[in-house]
Amino acid sequence: MKVKEARKISNIIIITGLAIILMGYIYKPFVIIGSIVFIYGFIVNILYNRCPGCGKYFDRNTGDYCRYCGKKIDD
């Protein structure tokens, strides 16, 4: 998976998870389901939001270049 793709997908999963958590106001078990989805989004982020060059985790670095090795993200 490409880094930008992974960021997009993990963001969608995290937002979906939050939306499901909010539905917990209507039906409590949604809080648990939403939390699982939310955590899954984070796992995707941690696994794939990494430099293809040096493998360092990007965290909140959203630039086009790796701040550790200078490699362009998504060649």
| Residue numbers at the binding site for Zn ion (CB under 5 A) | 51, 53-54, 66, 68-69, 71
Q: Which is nearer to Zn ion, 24 or 53 (CB)?
A: 53
Shortest Cβ 42–Zn ion spacing (Å):
21
> Scanning the structure block, which residue is given the tokens 């985790």?
57
Please list, residue by residue across 38-54, b when 16 or more beta carbons sit within 10 angstroms of its beta carbon and e when fewer do: beebeebbeebbbbeee
For residue 50, give the 3-state DSSP assignment.
Answer: strand
Shortest Cβ 70–Zn ion spacing (Å):
7
Shortest Cβ 36–Zn ion spacing (Å):
31
